Amino acid sequence: MNFLFSASVILAASTLTLGCAQGNCRSQSEPAKDKTVSVVEAANNIAAPDKIKIYKYNGETQCGMHAAVDVNVMAAELPHIKIHSSESKKDNLMHIQQCGSPTGSANIYLIDLKDLPAAKKFGFKEWIFE
């Protein structure tokens, strides 16, 4: 019985000692979330530094309870803003799986960077999900 107890203590001690052989596990820092956004912003600006992608969710819900607003119909919500391209795309985030819940589908528009403040007034946001 003493042998089993001693073996258990040695095993526990060695696990604690060797668990973080590279140093304190808690001291390892996580990557900053700001860097992710800056990478997306950089990717947005590589193709066209004077253009930016904006989006608005198209209202589509799971189980077909609400149909999506067509990308061309929603474009009318951007009066006096030149749209260079448009597409519908998922945001690739996790969404609850329940009838009537949003699907994460959005309408995305490529506009001039100078028009971003005006687009935000109409409820559009900068696309950061690439």
| CA pair distance 96, 49, nearest whole angstrom | 35
Number of separate domains in the chain:
1
20-69 tens-digit pLDDT: 555 555 555 545 444 444 455 555 555 568 999 999 999 999 998 899 99
Q: Is 96 a domain residue?
A: yes
Residues 97/112, Cβ–Cβ less than 8 Å: no
76-106 tens-digit pLDDT: 999 999 999 999 999 999 999 999 999 999 9
Q: Is 17 a domain residue?
A: no
Note down the domain range covering 71: 33-126
Sheet hosting strand 125-126, strand order edge to edge: 83-90, 105-112, 51-57, 125-126
Query: DSSP character for 31?
Result: P
- So what's the pLDDT on residue 1? 55
Q: Is 21 a domain residue?
A: no
> How deeply is 124 buried, as exposed, middle or buried, from its count of CB atoms within 10 A (0-12, 13-18, 19+)?
buried
Q: Which residues contact 72 (CB under 8 A, 6 or more apart)?
A: 86
Structure tokens, 108: 């995305």
Which pLDDT band, with edges at 50, 70 and 90, does 130 fall under?
Answer: confident
Q: Is 100 a domain residue?
A: yes
- So what's the pLDDT on residue 11? 59
Q: Is 79 a domain residue?
A: yes
